[in-house]
Amino acid sequence: MENDIELEEPITKVNCQNHLSSVEDALYVIGGKWKLKIIIALQEHGSIRFNELQRIVAGISARVLSNELKDLELNGFVKRIVHSEQTPVVVEYISTDYSKTLKTVIMALSEWGRTHKNNIREDVFEK
């Protein structure tokens, strides 16, 4: 990165690396097929049990859901609460305050996905 500095857009190139790096960091934590969907389900349902969650996040298997929940718990998005006083044991999952910081991300993605779907239905494929 030495000789192609044209002084045209020096800041842009820095911004690019910043964005790339930050987006990469974000995707590392919330990327993948399921994580955001689980977070959304958790946020909007308040408290959910395992099987209910599996029903809401359509298509996910118990094994994958279990693994994803562990990941999300480690990263502070989910709290796992065990009611061991009951039998059989009841386990609830709730979203944490930290997961609320994803609100703008989720809104942006949701909004974009919605309009994109409409665009496709209309005429994206006709030039």
47 within 8 A of 92, measured Cβ to Cβ: yes
106 contact, one of DNA, its own copies, none, CB 5-8 Å limit per kind? its own copies
Order of strands across the sheet with 47-49?
Answer: 47-49, 90-95, 78-83
Reported as type and span, the H/E element at residue 70 is helix 62-74
Q: Which residue among 39, 57, 60, 106 contacts DNA (CB under 7 A)?
A: 60
Identify residue 41 by its one-letter amino acid code: A
Q: Could you give the CA distance from residue 18 to residue 13 in angstroms, rounded to a whole number?
A: 9
Q: How far is the CB of 61 from its own copies (least distance, A)?
A: 17
Q: How far is the CB of 118 from DNA (least distance, A)?
A: 25
81 contact, one of its own copies, DNA, none, CB 5-8 Å limit per kind? none
Q: How far is the CB of 122 from its own copies (least distance, A)?
A: 13
79 contact, one of its own copies, DNA, none, CB 5-8 Å limit per kind? none
Q: Does position 89 bind DNA by CB under 7 A?
A: yes
51 contact, one of its own copies, DNA, none, CB 5-8 Å limit per kind? DNA
Q: Could you give the CA distance from residue 98 to residue 79 in angstroms, rounded to a whole number?
A: 11
